[in-house]
């Protein structure tokens, strides 16, 4: 059997790790106030029993199975129920609700684990010959519905798990370029790079359970993208297996070779072929890396400061600021005796209130600095000046250290809440600086109207997560206690309201999560009818039989 590890079939992350709140005294009162859920009395659902999961028998013609086994080896082809279930969904709220309902409309029929590019080519060849559908699978952390087969798919569906392709193949140290196999998970590839003194610098929230190939296929962005760039900037070349051969983009720093095929593959979610390896920009691990925390009086001041920082000569590695609601949430999830919460609640907030700041409006910000000690000092001085000009207040590196340690744990919280019937999910967008406050207000209004419509007490909060010259990404988290009757219907009302607000206020439907099935309904409003027409033409000409993850991004 394969040694590729997967997340829990029914939730985020690894078995044995879960969110708990016993050491966070502020958390239960916060949740009670936000969504009306009493954590101390609420009934928790049991962990579902895998034996109860209903999956139809696989469509797996013997000839196809034989061809696949020839391509990747007998032990790397399976129609095992657990493998099929694990490869059915990503980890969106919709995915978790459905998997917990134990009823799967359409699972992939066959899962294959190719060990090299030739094996991937063999799989593609066998699938094309058999008219089977191919869905590439990395870490399975997708939350845009990019991984699931369509319910009405009658052809055999093969999930191509790239998990065995996880090696750092080569570092070109003169150029700061590394060749890495597409199935390498974040921690795995960073460990291989760190051994030689390098880093990719790409740290999405999903880092521990997502892969290089997945990042490329969905246009991922990471926490330090302000410095290292989004994955679209980081990836300079790759190899993509297609029916008639391998598409090869050589690593070139910048090229004028017509419409960018590189930028067509980035974000293509498997529709143009299967990425087997990529050549990516890597950096020597910086001498110094530090995250400073700041407080701002309110959201408007904070956004103004972030804009001024983006325009300044400083180039921080992280610019992050939580709005009033999210700052409240952060303080509530802090442990009793540690970090910003204790300090803030004991003394700082009373001082600030004396100066007219209001607790529900105060915004917590993290700014990261990397480079030589001298560079860090200088760029921080520029930032400090801008913060001061916008009535902000630096509170040192303590909170940043804590943030850094727990940043990848947030998804566990969602399973914890779901155990008690509360839906928590995220939507993110990007917009020009001039429209950010408007987007923020519009999303709040839309979410609250949606909560009213479904008759639920709901919560929404937001942070700015990445800055660019002309704008920034806003990341929203929303939660409410779902009813039993139509939980996903209620979820749809809220999620749809938020996505529509993005569009109406001048934002995009996604800054870094991708389109999949989840955001596809808004694509035309985002990139225009003709934009979708051009993209559809690209897909249908590249894959006329619709074998490569069909009907994702555009139907």
Answer for which of 114, 251, 324, 399 binds its own copies (CB under 8 A) is 251
Interaction between residue 261 and its own copies (CB under 8 A): yes
Question: Residue 525 class from Cβ within 10 Å (0-12 exposed, 13-18 middle, 19+ buried)?
Answer: middle
Contact region for its own copies (CB under 8 A) — 69-77, 258-266, 333-341, 416-424?
Answer: 258-266
Letters for 310-339 (x = contact with its own copies by CB under 8 A, - = none) are -x-x-x------------------------
Site for its own copies in 368-397 (CB under 8 A): 371-372, 375, 378
- Residue 392 or 516 having the CB closest to its own copies: 516
Does residue 113 have an active-site annotation?
no
Query: Is residue 148 a known part of a binding site?
Result: no
CB of 234 to its own copies, least distance (A): 9
Per residue, the 3-state secondary structure of 233-284, as one string, reads: HHEEEEEEEECCEEEEECCCCCCCCCCCCHHHHCCCCCCCCEEEEEEEECEE
Nearer to its own copies, 414 or 519 (CB): 519
- Candidates 69-77, 152-160, 278-286, 401-409 — which segment interacts with its own copies by CB under 8 A? 278-286
- What sign has the CA pseudo-torsion 188, 191, 196, 199? positive
| Of 50, 32, 37, residue with least CA distance to 420 | 37
Radius of gyration of the chain measured on its C-alpha atoms: 23
CB of 241 vs its own copies, minimal distance in Å: 9
Q: Which residues from 496-515 bind its own copies, rule CB under 8 A?
A: 506-515
- Cβ atoms of residues 519 and 144 within 8 Å: yes
Provide the minimum distance between the beta carbon of 252 and its own copies in the complex, in angstroms, as a whole number. Answer: 5
| Interface with its own copies (CB under 8 A), residue from 34, 135, 393, 553 | 553
Run of H or E residues at 504 = helix 487-504
C-alpha dihedral (234, 236, 239, 245), degrees to nearest 10: 140
- Taking the C-alpha atoms of residue 544 and residue 539, their distance in angstroms, rounded to an integer, is 8
Which residues are bridge partners to 199 per DSSP? 283
Footprint of its own copies on 389-448 (CB under 8 A): 430-435
Tokens found for residue 251: 């690593």
The Cα 432–Cα 237 span in angstroms is 29
Nearer to its own copies, 1 or 248 (CB): 248
Please, what's the b/e burial string for 23-38 (b: 16 or more CB within 10 A of its CB; e: otherwise)? ebebbbebbeebbebe
Which of 76, 499 has the CB closer to its own copies?
499
Burial 295-311 (b: 16+ CB within 10 A, else e): bbbbbebbbbbbbbbbe
Task: Report the residue from 60, 147, 168, 249 that binds its own copies according to the rule CB under 8 A.
Answer: 249
Catalytic residue among 294, 403, 475, 491: 475
Tell whether 470 is in a known binding site.
no
Which residues, numbered 523-542, are part of the site for its own copies (CB under 8 A)?
523, 526-531, 533-538, 540-542
Scan residues 440-499 and list those touching its own copies (CB under 8 A): 466, 468-473
Whole-Å CA distances, 546 to 106, 130, 157, 250: 17, 13, 12, 27
- Would you say 226 or 404 has its CB closer to its own copies? 226
Region for 455 from its dihedrals, namely left if φ exceeds 0, alpha if ψ lies in -120 to 50, beta otherwise:
left
Q: Interface residues for its own copies in 156-195 (CB under 8 A)? A: 172, 174-177
- Contact between 198 and 174 under an 8 Å Cβ cutoff? The reply is no
Q: Which range binds its own copies by CB under 8 A, 44-52, 77-85, 158-166, 254-262?
A: 254-262
Supply the minimum distance, in Å, between the C-beta of residue 429 and its own copies: 9
- The reply, when asked if residue 262 is annotated as ligand binding, is no
**Binding site listing for FAD:** 205-211, 218-221, 269-275
Residues classed as catalytic: 475
**Binding site listing:** 205-211, 218-221, 269-275, 414
**Binding site listing for substrate:** 414
């Amino acid at each position: 059997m394969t040694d590729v590890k997967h997340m829990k079939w029914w939730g985020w992350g690894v078995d044995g790790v879960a969110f708990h709140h016993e050491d966070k005294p502020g958390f239960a009162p916060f949740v009670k106030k936000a969504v009306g859920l009493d954590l101390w009395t609420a009934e928790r659902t049991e962990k579902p029993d895998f034996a109860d999961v209903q999956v139809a028998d696989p469509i797996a013609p013997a000839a196809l199975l034989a061809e696949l086994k020839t391509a990747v080896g007998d032990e790397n082809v399976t129609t095992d129920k657990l493998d099929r279930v694990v490869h059915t969904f990503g980890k969106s709220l919709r995915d978790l609700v459905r998997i917990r309902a134990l009823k799967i409309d359409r699972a992939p029929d066959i899962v294959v684990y190719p060990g090299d590019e030739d094996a991937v080519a063999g799989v593609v060849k066998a699938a094309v010959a058999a008219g089977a559908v191919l869905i590439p699978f990395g870490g399975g952390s997708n939350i845009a519905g990019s991984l699931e087969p369509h319910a009405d798919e009658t052809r055999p569906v093969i999930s191509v798990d790239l998990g065995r392709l996880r090696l750092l193949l080569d570092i070109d140290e003169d150029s700061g370029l590394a060749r890495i196999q597409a199935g390498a998970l974040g921690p795995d590839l960073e460990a291989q790079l760190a051994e030689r003194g390098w880093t990719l610098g790409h740290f999405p929230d999903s880092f521990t359970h997502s892969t290089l190939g997945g990042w490329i296929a969905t246009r991922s962005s990471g926490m330090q993208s302000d410095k290292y760039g989004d994955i679209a900037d980081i990836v300079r070349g790759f190899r993509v297996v297609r029916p008639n051969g391998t598409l090869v983009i050589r690593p070139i720093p910048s090229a004028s070779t017509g419409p960018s095929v590189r930028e067509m593959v980035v974000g293509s979610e498997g529709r143009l072929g299967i990425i087997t390896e990529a050549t990516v920009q890597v950096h020597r691990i910086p001498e110094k890396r530090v995250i400073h925390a700041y407080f701002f009086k309110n959201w408007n001041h904070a956004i103004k400061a972030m804009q001024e920082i983006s325009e300044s000569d400083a180039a921080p590695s992280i610019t992050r600021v939580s709005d009033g609601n999210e700052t409240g949430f952060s303080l509530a999830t802090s442990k009793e005796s540690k970090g910003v919460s204790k300090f803030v609640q004991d003394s700082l907030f009373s001082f600030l209130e004396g100066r007219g700041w209001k607790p529900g409006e105060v915004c917590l910000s993290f700014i990261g600095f990397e480079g030589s000690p001298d560079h860090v000092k200088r760029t921080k001085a520029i930032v400090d000046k801008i913060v001061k000009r916008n009535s902000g207040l630096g509170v040192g590196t303590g909170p940043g250290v804590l943030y850094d340690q727990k940043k990848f744990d947030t998804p566990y919280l969602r399973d914890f809440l779901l155990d008690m019937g509360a839906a928590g999910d995220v939507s993110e967008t990007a917009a020009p600086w001039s429209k950010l406050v408007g987007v923020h207000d519009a999303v709040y209004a839309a979410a609250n109207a949606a909560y009213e419509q479904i008759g639920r007490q709901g919560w929404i909060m937001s942070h700015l997560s990445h800055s660019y010259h002309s704008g920034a990404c806003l990341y929203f988290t929303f939660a409410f206690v779902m009813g039993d009757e139509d939980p996903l219907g209620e979820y749809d009302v809220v999620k749809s309201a938020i996505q529509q607000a993005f569009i109406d206020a001048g934002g995009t439907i996604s800054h870094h999560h991708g389109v999949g099935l989840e955001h596809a309904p808004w694509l035309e409003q985002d990139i225009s009818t003709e934009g979708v027409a051009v993209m559809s033409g690209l897909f249908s000409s590249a894959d006329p039989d619709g074998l490569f993850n069909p009907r994702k991004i555009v139907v």
